[in-house]
């Protein structure tokens, strides 16, 4: 988890600095809106179920805990590793790039602080790159 220092010197979480529940909901909704509406993300969209509502809730819940906010998602998904949850999916370098590109756009368009967004994008690129390499190793 990334921990930030506030101006008063006390530590705060990325979840608090980016604006809490409403901000996470805003950028996660923007991410799935882009996935649904932009043809350049159609391969990524095609991997998901027709109804994205459960994913909107699950990704927002995961990222809330990951960013240092309430950990309800982790309490409801004890032992679930987000990397392993993707191990059986046919993720390619291209769908991995679509995911990180759509998320970077969603963060920018939701006015998330640029420094924090850059650190989040960095972490997402590492995770998404690992997911596509896991799939490539499995399928070779
Ligand atoms: C590498 C690119 C990625 C692709 C192609 C991808 C694709 C998917 C797909 C197809 C699902 C299942 C959707 C469904 O059942 O309809 C899913 C679920 C999920 N993904 Fe990803 N994903 C990627 C990266 C990530 C990353 C980087 C994260 C975390 C930051 C993440 C977090 C999640 C979560 C939390 C779920 C829901 C798990 C659940 O509730 O069962 N994904 N993803």
Atom of ligand 1 nearest to the CA of 132: 1
Atom 13 (ligand 1) nearest CA: 48
Q: Which residues' Cβ are closer than 6 Å to ligand 1? A: 44, 47-49, 55, 58-59, 62, 82, 85-86, 89, 91, 95-96, 99, 124, 127-128, 131-132
Can you read off the two tokens belonging to residue 108? 């920018």
**Which position has the token pair 């990704």?**
59
30-41, pLDDT tens digit by residue?
999 999 999 999
Q: Ligand 1 centroid to 31 CA: how many Å?
A: 12
Can you read off the two tokens belonging to residue 54? 């459960």
48-107, pLDDT tens digit by residue?
999 999 999 999 999 999 999 999 999 999 999 999 999 999 999 999 999 999 999 999
* Euclidean distance between CA atoms 34 and 40, whole angstroms: 9
* Euclidean distance between CA atoms 47 and 21, whole angstroms: 27
User: Is the pLDDT reported for residue 3 higher than 60?
Assistant: no
Q: Exposed, middle or buried by CB within 10 Å (0-12, 13-18, 19+), for 135?
A: buried
Q: Provide the Cα torsion 94, 95, 101, 105; round to 10°.
A: 150
pLDDT band, very low/low/confident/very high, at 9 (cuts 50, 70, 90): low
Q: How many domains does the chain have?
A: 1
* Euclidean distance between CA atoms 85 and 88, whole angstroms: 7
CATH number, domain at 46? 1.10.490.10
Q: Ligand 1 centroid to 86 CA: how many Å?
A: 6
Q: Which domain, by its residues, includes 79?
A: 4-139
């Amino acid at each position: 988890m990334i921990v930030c220092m506030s101006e008063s010197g006390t530590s705060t979480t990325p979840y608090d600095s980016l604006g809490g529940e409403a901000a996470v909901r805003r950028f996660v909704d923007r991410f799935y809106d882009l996935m649904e509406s932009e043809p350049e993300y159609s391969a990524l969209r095609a991997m998901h179920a027709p109804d994205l509502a459960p994913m909107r809730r699950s990704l927002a819940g995961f990222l809330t805990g990951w960013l240092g906010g309430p950990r309800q998602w982790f309490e409801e998904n004890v032992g679930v590793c987000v990397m392993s949850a993707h191990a059986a999916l046919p993720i390619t370098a291209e769908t991995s790039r679509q995911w990180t590109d759509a998320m970077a756009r969603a963060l920018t368009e939701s006015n998330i602080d640029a420094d924090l967004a850059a650190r989040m994008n960095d972490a997402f690129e590492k995770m998404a790159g690992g997911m596509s390499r896991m799939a490539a190793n499995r399928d070779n």
